[in-house]
Amino acid sequence: AIRCVVAVSPHARTPHGVPKPAGWLLRAPKAQAVAAPGSQSAAMGQALVAPITTKDSGDGSEPSMGLRWGHSCMQGWRLSMEDAHFAVGSLPSEGWQDTAAFGVMDGHGGKEVAEFCQQLLPTLIGKGSSADTRAALVNAFHTIDEILDSPEDATHLQETWAHSANVPCSTAEWVGCTAVVCLVRQD
């Protein structure tokens, strides 16, 4: 039997105390979307005239757990790819070697937070107790929120945003991410 635990980022609060919708890691854009040259309209946000349908696909496996997986990403109507994912066949942290982790990060307003979560979430999950996967997931999401809300901890993100091609949207006020993570173990 295989056990699967799925987590969507938990409810959290913005710096202003307003509840965030389930799934948001940072804050939703505060201003109206700005239409970019060649986009459909400001109401639709930044969008291309036609979707980019080129796919970036791959696969992987974890033979010790009998797992095989595939992934496929497509930019679609956005000006640039804003999403990220991870597939870790065995988390490298103590007590987590029997756990595979899969995550999809849906970027909002830019790729920066999605890529940040892609890099950091597996490590943060592994810092939690493998005996309490729910708490490990919730704590990992909360830690990401704290880092993103802390100017001191997010310095490298701010530097990335300053050099992003997504200007003017790539600022902490505009960029966010929804994430879904699944942990898989054999029972």
pLDDT one-digit tens code per residue, 32-48: 333 444 444 333 457 88
Instruction: Give kind and range of the element (H or E) at residue 7.
Output: strand 2-8
| Residue-level pLDDT at 97 | 94
The structure's pTM equals 0.72
Tens-digit pLDDT profile for residues 125-141: 999 999 999 999 999 99
| Residue-level pLDDT at 149 | 81
Question: Average pLDDT, stretch 24-29?
Answer: 35
| Residue-level pLDDT at 138 | 95
**Cα(170)–Cα(111) distance, rounded to whole angstroms?**
8
Instruction: Give the pLDDT band (50/70/90) at residue 147.
Output: confident
Lowest mean pLDDT among 13-17, 136-140, 178-182: 13-17
- DSSP string computed for 111-180: SHHHHHHHHHHHHHHHTS-TT-HHHHHHHHHHHHHHHHH-TTTTHHHHHHHHT-TTTTS-STTT-EEEEE
Tens-digit pLDDT profile for residues 54-110: 999 999 999 999 999 999 999 998 888 999 999 999 999 999 999 999 999 998 888
DSSP state of 29: -
Mean pLDDT (the chain, rounded): 76
